[in-house]
Amino acid sequence: MFNSQLPSISDLPTSRQLIGSTLVAIAGAAVILVTVVLPSEYGIDPTGAGRAFGLTEMGEIKVQLAQEAASDRVSEPSEASDNAVSSGVPTVDRGTTPAKADAQSPNTAVRSDQTEVVLKPGQGAEVKVAAAKGARIEFDWSVRGGIVNYDTHADAPGIDYHGYGKGKQSGGETGTLVAAFDGKHGWFWRNRTEKVVTIILKTSGAYTSVKRVV
């Protein structure tokens, strides 16, 4: 038994009204796509609204960092020094003896390192640690003399890119990187200022090596 009366046919929306509502919804989604999603994610701004709200710049930086990290990985040398400074020779401050096991070893000893990288205007650099899945790497990097754009990510055979986070105009970041898989995990920086800057990276955790790869 019904507790209320069924609506009459005249109370129901017509086919024209349903089609109209659908078209309005599609148009609204298209507006959001063009004015918000494309500018903020891909730097594409056909209407100019994204730049007015600062979304286009954010999208351009995301695309730029991803492209720079990808292009620099292509030129990554097969063997690099264990740590890197401006001369390419590492300066390392190790609190414990590094483990000799590979990245897949579950018994990798905890180690601590300090890496310094000097970046000229427009120059980029990347430092990676080799770690097994689930390894926790404490990191603290700072910029002496300016600010940089950064992209924290990882890669492994069969995995070209896995992002942990990225940002722009940063003077430093501190946190914990938890390895998503067995592979190389680390940081890419780009100096977009007109001054020479120095990045000081301090790392501590169960990883087997730390290298400047770009």
One domain, residues 41 and 18: yes
In a domain, 91, yes or no: yes
User: Domain end: 44, 71, 98, which one?
Assistant: 71
In the prediction, which pLDDT does 31 show?
Answer: 82
Whether the per-residue pLDDT at 205 is higher than 70: the answer is yes
One domain, residues 192 and 105: yes
* pLDDT tens figures, 128-177: 999 999 999 999 999 999 999 999 999 998 888 999 999 999 999 999 99
In a domain, 100, yes or no: yes
One domain, residues 101 and 153: yes
Answer positive or negative: Cα dihedral of 39, 45, 46, 52: positive
Beta bridge partners of 117: 199
The residue segments making up the domain with residue 34 are: 12-71
* pLDDT tens figures, 56-76: 777 667 676 766 666 655 554
One domain, residues 99 and 169: yes
Whether the per-residue pLDDT at 188 is higher than 90: the answer is yes
One domain, residues 119 and 174: yes
Q: Give the number of other CB atoms < 10 A from CB of residue 13.
A: 10
> How far is Cα 109 from Cα 94, in angstroms, rounded to an integer?
12
Helix (H, G, I), strand (E, B) or coil at 10: helix
